[in-house]
Chains A and B, each alone.
Chain A
Amino acid sequence: NAGVTQTPKFQVLKTGQSMTLQCAQDMNHEYMSWYRQDPGMGLRLIHYSVGAGITDQGEVPNGYNVSRSTTEDFPLRLLSAAPSQTSVYFCAISDRGRANYGYTFGSGTRLTVV
């Protein structure tokens, strides 16, 4: 039982390149989300999904796309990377009926855009 698996752990992109950050879970949780963590700013919600086929925007969605075709996977796409997207990205999941029990986080993807 791996919980939440994020790949890759590290990535360097050139400005304008595209890439997909992967998030996979084996806990059968309905709710999945992407956060970015920047120094002095805590965690900010990018996009989230309450189930397969359903996604919505969070606090900082610009420059990112998501889709949710299965319960297990919730990829985050950067269409044209910018230096402002240099950050650490976390995927977090929650059991819909147990949201008050907190979230389970992946170990993060550290992205640098040069």
Chain B
Amino acid sequence: GDSVTQMEGPVTLSEEAFLTINCTYTATGYPSLFWYVQYPGEGLQLLLKATKADDKGSNKGFEATYRKETTSFHLEKGSVQVSDSAVYFCALIRGYQKVTFGTGTKLQVIP
């Protein structure tokens, strides 16, 4: 079946550091890929998405590229801020309601 694997957290970075959170997936066909962010005490919010191979999703300085050859969708940001501290979830959607989430990666940014 489908699966999403994220790097283990927590990830602790200093402010203005470069961020990479790895995400790889296993799925048949051509899934759409997503990153969601969850701030403390809140629900998940869609951060960015990519619907086909080589697409790059971007939002709020975050980027991720859909790499079909490596089945990856790594999240990157050039300079993190304290306000980016949250839990980040990689997810894929294949078909109408078939959604698979990763286990989440907690990011802590220290001043």
Could you list which residues of chain A lie within 8 angstroms of chain B, going by C-beta atoms?
A: 4, 31, 33, 40-43, 45, 48, 50, 90, 92, 94, 96, 99-108
Partner pick for B96 among A31, A40, A108, CB 8 A cutoff: A31
| B82: interface (CB < 8 Å) | no
| B44: interface (CB < 8 Å) | yes
User: Which residues of chain A are within 8 angstroms of B93 by Cβ–Cβ distance?
Assistant: 99-100, 102
For chain B, the count of residues having a C-beta within 8 Å of the partner chain is 21
A34 CB to nearest chain B CB (Å) = 12
A43 in contact with B101 given A105-B43, A107-B42 (CB within 8 Å): yes
Q: Given contacts A41-B103, A99-B96, A102-B34, could you give 11 more A-B pairs where the C-beta distance is less than 8 Å?
A: A42-B89, A42-B103, A42-B104, A45-B99, A100-B49, A100-B93, A102-B36, A102-B49, A102-B93, A105-B43, A106-B43
Q: Do the beta carbons of A99 and B103 come within 8 Å of each other?
A: no
